[in-house]
Structure 1
Amino acid sequence: MDTARLVALIAATITTGWMSGLFYGFSVSVMPGLKRSGDRTVIETMQRINVAILNGWFMLGYLGALLFTGLALGLHVPSGAPDALPALIGAFVAYAAAMAVTGLVNIPLNNALEQAGPADRLDDAGAARVRQAFEGRWVRANAWRAVLCTVALGFLAWALVLYGRGA
């Protein structure tokens, strides 16, 4: 049981770190770089990213972070180590909130971007409208995901410290 708790906690920390890094990377490099690009470039690039990101490694991180955090939490409840529980609950709630932002804002925006069709078939006004409807909301929501995942990662790091202390 002790090994299972540690493995689940490490897996939760790694996968949450992946997601925190992914969303942070978009916030500080991908989206600022695209902001300096033309409308069609933004649309086409994000359409391609939205397809490419749906792969096993992404899913391992995205779903794994929630599942491993939930598993670590579940394994800590009966362990008699209540000190780590608030950190694990905090991590679970923060990551679940990041997933909620993704489901409520980012995915619908990605779907609307895809429904706009190929960027090279949009006239200038149409491309500008599609970009305007997408970019600002997506960037703000992604910043929230980055913050929430970083908070979850901080909680998991604290849970690891408590675990190491024998909590």
Structure 2
Amino acid sequence: METARLASLIAATVTMGLVSGLFYGFAIAVMPGLKGADDRTVIEVMQRVNVAILNGWFILGYLGAFVCTALALALHVPSDGRAVLPALISALVCCIVSMGITNKVNIPLNNALENAGPAAAGREPAAVRRAFEGPWVRANVWRTVLCTASTGFLAWALFLHGRMR
């Protein structure tokens, strides 16, 4: 059982770190890099990214972060390792809130952008971009902060777990 606890903590930390890094990359490089591009380019690039990201590797990390964190918490509840519970609960709450932001803000914005058609053909590209970019970037910053906090809580849980041995 101890091996499962440790393995779930490591897997949660790694997968959450991957998700944090992905969101961080968008926050500090991708979206700022697109800021100077014309409206049609931003729309086309983000439409392509939104299709490309829906792959097994993303799903493994994104859902894996939640599943592994929840599993680590569940495995530590009945153990003598309850010192890690506050960190694991905090990590899971941050993860869930981040997923909520993704589901309530980022995904609907991605879908609206996709529904605008190829580079917003037939619509005013500047209006399509304005409706997407600002809200998406703000939501992404929040989920970046939350996933980074979750990663920190998981790292702290790993530290505490190691001290208990």
1:81 Cα deviation from its structure 2 partner:
1.2
1:3 aligns to what? 3
Aligned structure 1 segments of 4 or more residues deviating by more than 4 angstroms: none
Alignment pair present for 1:101 and 2:82: no
Q: CA RMSD in A?
A: 1.0
Give the TM-score taking structure 1 as reference length. Answer: 0.97
Give the gaps of 5 or more residues in structure 2: none
1:121 Cα deviation from its structure 2 partner:
2.3
Secondary structure of the corresponding residue to residue 79 of structure 1 = coil
2:140 aligns to what? 142
1: distance between equivalents of 2:120 and 2:125? 9
1:74 aligns to what? 74
Give the TM-score taking structure 2 as reference length. Answer: 0.98
2: distance between equivalents of 1:134 and 1:121? 15
Alignment pair present for 1:115 and 2:115: yes
1:38 Cα deviation from its structure 2 partner:
0.4
2:156 aligns to what? 158
| 1:115-147 superposed Cα distances (whole Å, 9 cap, x missing partner) | 000016245xx1011000000000000000100
Give aligned pairs, total.
165
1:77 Cα deviation from its structure 2 partner:
0.2
